[in-house]
A = this chain, B = another copy of it.
Amino acid sequence: MSKSNNVYKDAFNRCLRLLDETKSLPSEPELGTLLGVSRTTVRSILARMEETGLIAWNKRNKTVLRAPRPEDFFPEEETDSLAEIIERSFMRRLLAEGAEAGMQINELELAREIGVGTTSVREFLIRFSRFGLIEKRRNSHWVLKGFTRAFALELTEIREMFELRSAAAFAALPEDSAVWVDLDMLEVQHRQLASEIATRFNEFSELDERFHRLIHRASHNRFIVDFYDVIAMIFHYHYQWNKAEERQRNEVAVQEHLAYIAALKSRDPGKVDAACRKHLKSARLTLLSSIPEGRQAQLA
């Protein structure tokens, strides 16, 4: 087994959901762009759909025969890429108790534990190293730097620097820039979420990321834009294992975002700066308060 066909399985599942909406499927290249895969994969999907009686396929004709049933879908866990599987396993370990700074990381052990080859683990660790949580010793093991208070402070320091600059750049964008439309859309979504916060508070994460990424993009600086990956990763996993006060937290954040959006729309640099600072400050406090006190740097 050299490569799993998760790309195919994931695209197949997504394609199944398209079946509900139409009587017939579009052309192969069109499906390809829609699903983000090559025609080769599209054709495998169509082949299976024909086989299982979901569609009748004859050249350009792809008629939907029946609605998809639960058993038509591939199991969720088979649609994840290896990288995602490794990342999840690794993050679980990292945020679990006992993952102290200075600990060494063993590629072979990780690979065996997760049940994958060492190459994939190596590649993952190299990719992951840019998050500043691990470090390589040449010709030797990786060292865990740990998800410590120091890490959170260093991360937020950069975040604040970058976001203040991006927000200022955003406010200075011309009236006819497309970003104002995006911002309006985000504002509407924030208002909707605010009005139903009691039941939908867990949808905030995703909205949060889209909002901040929009702002960072205004910097027109790849290093700033890319840095948001670090923040997104940390927030994603950290809050996944730390649900304390989630509703309360998100409710506050939504209101801060709305104030921030209003400041951006005012295009007044002073107001933008103030609203941005206020939100970043509470984001920092939230992150810091959720790091257990015992989880300090233990490094020599």
Chain A residues within CB distance 8 Å of chain B: 7, 36-37, 119, 122-123, 126-127, 130, 132, 138-139, 145, 151, 154-155, 157-158, 161, 165, 220-224, 226-227, 230
Contacts and interface: CB of A to CB of B under 8 A. Distances in A.
Contacts of A221: 154, 157-158
A72 to B, nearest CB: 24
Contacts of A151: 222
Q: Most chain-B Cβ atoms within 10 A of its Cβ — which of A123, A158, A221, A223?
A: A223
Contact of A224 (B119, B123, B158): B158
B161 A222 contact: no
A150 B134 CA distance: 30
A33 to B, nearest CB: 13
Contacts of A119: 119
Given A7-B139, A119-B119, A223 B132 contact: yes
Contacts of A222: 132, 145, 151, 154
Nearest to A124: B126
A235 to B, nearest CB: 16
Nearest to A226: B132
A130 B130 contact: yes
A182 to B, nearest CB: 21
Contacts of A145: 222
A132 B224 CA distance: 11
Contacts of A161: 161, 165
